[in-house]
Amino acid sequence: MTIWQVILSIIFPPLAVISRGCGSFLIVLLLTAAGWVPGVIAALIILNKQ
């Protein structure tokens, strides 16, 4: 996880996880639509997994 991915996940979480696949993108997009904080947390968790 690079610093740019962290910054992008704070600004717009779905865009940060687009490289992880369509499923991750959709999950983070739905969580971001439900609330910004759950989307950021989900994006950081997905980016942290190797």
Q: Are 44 and 6 in contact (CB under 8 A)?
A: yes
DSSP code at position 19: G
Q: What ranges do the domains of the chain cover?
A: 3-48
Q: For residues 13 and 49, what is the distance between their CA atoms, to the nearest angstrom?
A: 15
What per-residue confidence (pLDDT) applies to 1? 78
Instruction: Please tell me the predicted confidence (pLDDT) of residue 29.
Output: 96
Query: 3-class DSSP state for residue 45?
Result: helix
pLDDT at 50 over 80: no
Residue 25's identity, in one-letter code, is: F
Residue recorded with tokens 């759950």: 38
pTM (whole model) above 0.85: yes
Banded model confidence at residue 10, pLDDT cuts 50, 70, 90: very high
Distances (CA, A) of 11 to 40, 47: 8, 14
